[in-house]
Amino acid sequence: MAKRNDQTTHDSMVKYVADHVSRRGHSNIRADIAGYTTPDLIYWGNSKHGHVPDVTSCDGSKYIFEVETADSIADAHTVDQWRLFSSNAVQHAKKFIVVVPEGYHEQAWKRALQLSVKLEDVWVVGEITKGIRFKLKRYKFI
């Protein structure tokens, strides 16, 4: 897991995504936070180099979710993760979804286009209160 300036917000968003897909009937939900089974490491080819996604799940389709905070969208570590997860999703018929804070969906789509990364969707998690309650918005890039 990459170090972030706002790790608490990141982890709260990861939990929200895991809870959200659970409410939607997904199974085999794994999340890279306490209280969940950690998702499997996804490797680059036959190398020992890879990354653990923030959340994985299934609902007939298999999903890879990667949560970004405002400070991590442009990070070099993010580039490697997105390229790996996108490649894995294409190769294994999975859906790769990036989750960002409110106000960053356009930046996420532009970043994906810049990197030639295929995303299924960008989900936006917006804060409702100063606590850890969020709402989810979905944006398709057209």
Angle at CA of residue 141, ends 138 and 142, nearest 5°: 130
- How far apart are alpha carbons 3 and 75 in whole angstroms? 11
Residue 71 has pLDDT above 60, yes or no: yes
Rounded CA-CA distance 1/36 in Å is 15
**Residue with more model confidence, 125 or 98:** 98
Q: 């020992």: which residue's tokens?
A: 48
Is the pLDDT reported for residue 130 higher than 50? Answer: no
Domain ranges within the chain, ordered by starting residue = 7-139
- pLDDT of res. 9: 86
Beta strands, E only, 11-128:
27-31, 42-43, 50-51, 55-58, 62-67, 94-101, 121-127
Fold of 7-139: Trna Endonuclease; Chain: A, domain 1 (3.40.1350)
Asked if pLDDT for residue 72 goes beyond 70, the answer is yes
Rounded Cα gap, residues 133 and 63, in angstroms:
23
Share of the chain above pLDDT 90, in %: 65
For the segment 20-28, the average pLDDT, to the nearest whole number, is: 94
pLDDT confidence band for 136 (50 / 70 / 90)? low
Average pLDDT over every residue of 60-65: 96
Token readout for 142 is 């057209």
Q: Look at residue 7 and tell me whether its pLDDT is greater than 90.
A: no
**Interacting residues of 75 by C-beta distance below 8 A, sequence separation 6+:** 2
